[in-house]
Amino acid sequence: MRIIKSLIVFLFFCTFISCETTSTVIKEDVPFKEVSEKETATSDKLQEEISEQTEDVIRFPTAKLEKDIVAIIGKYILTKEKYRIIKEYMQEKYDVKLDPDQETEFLEYLINRKLMALEAREKGYAERNDVKVKYEWDFDDIISHDFYKENIEKKSKVSTAEARDYYNKNKSDFVEIKAQHILIKNKDLARNVYKKIMGGENFDDMAKKYSEDEVTKSAGGNLGYFTKGVMVKEFEDVAFSLGKDQVSEPVKTIYGYHIIKVLDRRQISFEESKDKIINMVQNKKLKNNFESMLKQLKSKYKVVVNEEYKK
Fold of 175-267: Chitinase A; domain 3 (3.10.50)
Identify whether the C-beta of residue 225 lies closer than 8 Å to the C-beta of residue 177.
Answer: yes
At residue 311 the predicted structure's pLDDT band, cuts being 50, 70 and 90, is low
Amino acid letter, residue 68: D
The predicted-structure confidence for 15-55, as pLDDT tens digits, reads as follows 443 334 333 344 444 444 344 444 444 434 433 433 333 34
Q: How many CA within 13 A on the CB side of residue 230?
A: 15
Determine phi and psi for 229, rounding to 5 degrees: 95, 0
Per-domain boundaries in the chain = 2-123, 175-267
- Distances, alpha carbon 261 to alpha carbons 112, 257, 282, 290, in Å: 67, 13, 35, 43
Instruction: State pTM to two decimals.
Output: 0.63
Report the alpha-carbon distance of residue 153 to residue 228 in Å, rounded.
28
Mean per-residue pLDDT, 80-106: 92
* Angle formed by the axes of helices 100-122 and 80-94, nearest 10°: 110
